[in-house]
Amino acid sequence: MSDRARRPGNDTDGGRFAPHELYAAAQLYYGQNLSQEQVAQQLGTSRPRVSRLLAEARRRGIVRIEVVPPVPADELASQLTEALGLREVELSPTVVPGTPPGRILATALSAVLSRLGLRSGDVLLISSGRTVWQAAQTNLPALPGVVLAPTIGGLDEVEPWFQTNEITRRIAETVGGHPRLLYAPAMPSPELHATLLRDRRTNEVLRLWDEATAAVMGVGAPLRLRDSIPTFLPSDPTLRPDSAGDISSRFFDERGDPVPYPGEERLLSVSREQLQAMPASIALAAGEAKVGALIAAARAKLYSILVTDQATASQMLTRLKADATGETDGAAETDGTSETDVTERTGRHDSSV
């Protein structure tokens, strides 16, 4: 036998992989969702070796992969509606990585908006966020005479998906509604905040938050998973370490309880209580990064209707079942992904709101 064949850790002999090395590679790849290239960098080895480590980890049972037959969309929606105590779940086909989620979800959102039967004079609130912004670029159903207003300020934001006035105006033009805009930053200075609360036009919009019949809201992922946040929020995610996500910059933990932060008392945004009291609050989100946030927001009763894709719905049910049985993430792959797809995983959904 050659020296190469006898050398410990030789890639041609899976039996010589050390158990701790197999576990480390599997934990980084499956538990922390790193790419094989990133795992290789962490372990100081090559990507082909990482691929063999993962294959050997599966062979030895360190990683267990379960291939689950897909659940029909209607049944999936029904199961998730019951599990979260929602009014309705509307599913779109699974969003392909690299495709704007909002554009794919727009058809499902249109179906929900059409069923709500909004009439002239009814108030529909619109949040900021990349997914809502993407949906605003599509053809939504006609809602003649409906009044549309933003759920949060954002006049001074740079990114277009945080400029709620422009998103609201765009949707109003598409559906034939009447925009009522909020000419204010999301978090004004103490002096400006006091002035805005005395301003007639500002108060006209704030009153609409109590009168709203429905809202379309993006749901933000945990800050550590996001590549874009509003400028008024501190960029350091450790300031809200317990945050599972947010709606209109109202952060919550995995139980749905509020996660306050400095300056929130000046935030010009729809409150938790207003969202909880709203007849039809629609969460619009998809992607693995949003799973925990969507579950937590449902526990907090911050939305009653969910518009998402089939993959996200399946992942939410898997997470809920794991929570109920006390299983930990990473113990098994149960989202219906094939072994090849898991090994060669590429791409992730947008994780901003």
Least trusted range by pLDDT, from 101-115, 238-252, 297-311: 238-252
The confidence score (pLDDT) of residue 332 equals 36
Among the listed residues 319, 273, 271, the one whose alpha carbon sits nearest the alpha carbon of residue 293:
319
* pLDDT at position 79 over 60: yes
Mean pLDDT of 147-158: 94
Output b/e per residue, 53-86; b: 16+ Cβ within 10 A.
Answer: bbbbbbeeebbeeeeeeebebeebbebbbebbeb
CA distance 344 to 13: 22
Secondary structure letter of residue 344 according to DSSP: T
Mean pLDDT of 163-189: 96
Mean pLDDT of 84-95: 96
CA distance 10 to 31: 25
* pLDDT at position 43 over 70: yes
Is the pLDDT higher at 234 or at 122?
A: 122
Q: What is the pLDDT of residues 125-151, one digit of tens each?
A: 999 999 999 999 999 999 999 999 999
CA distance 297 to 305: 11
Residues 6 or more apart whose CB falls under 8 angstroms from that of 333 comprise 30, 63, 64, 65, 66, 342
The CATH code that applies to domain 9-65 is: 1.10.10.60
The confidence score (pLDDT) of residue 72 equals 87
* Percentage with pLDDT > 90 across the chain: 69
pLDDT confidence band for 333 (50 / 70 / 90): very low
Q: Does this chain's domain 9-65 share its CATH topology with 73-321?
A: no
CA distance 46 to 269: 48
Q: What is the pLDDT of residues 9-39, one digit of tens each?
A: 444 444 578 898 999 999 899 888 889 999 9
The confidence score (pLDDT) of residue 160 equals 94
The confidence score (pLDDT) of residue 325 equals 80
* pLDDT at position 70 over 90: no
The tokens of 304 are what? 């009653």
The confidence score (pLDDT) of residue 336 equals 36
Residue 4 burial class via C-beta count within 10 angstroms: exposed 0-12, middle 13-18, buried 19 and up: exposed
CA distance 148 to 167: 10
- Phi, psi angles (nearest 5°) of residue 44: 70, 40
Is the pLDDT higher at 7 or at 111?
A: 111
The confidence score (pLDDT) of residue 351 equals 53
The CATH code that applies to domain 73-321 is: 3.40.50.1360
Q: What is the pLDDT of residues 230-247, one digit of tens each?
A: 888 876 766 667 789 999
The confidence score (pLDDT) of residue 204 equals 96
Mean pLDDT of the chain: 87
Q: What is the pLDDT of residues 309-323, one digit of tens each?
A: 999 999 999 999 998
Partners of 214 in the β-ladder: 124, 280
The confidence score (pLDDT) of residue 75 equals 94
* pLDDT at position 176 over 90: yes
The confidence score (pLDDT) of residue 180 equals 97
Whose tokens are 């927001």? That residue is 297
Q: What ranges do the domains of the chain cover?
A: 9-65, 73-321
pLDDT confidence band for 67 (50 / 70 / 90): low
Distance of CA 293 to the CA centre of its chain: 6
3-class SS shares of the chain: helix, strand, coil, % to 5: 45, 10, 40
The confidence score (pLDDT) of residue 85 equals 97
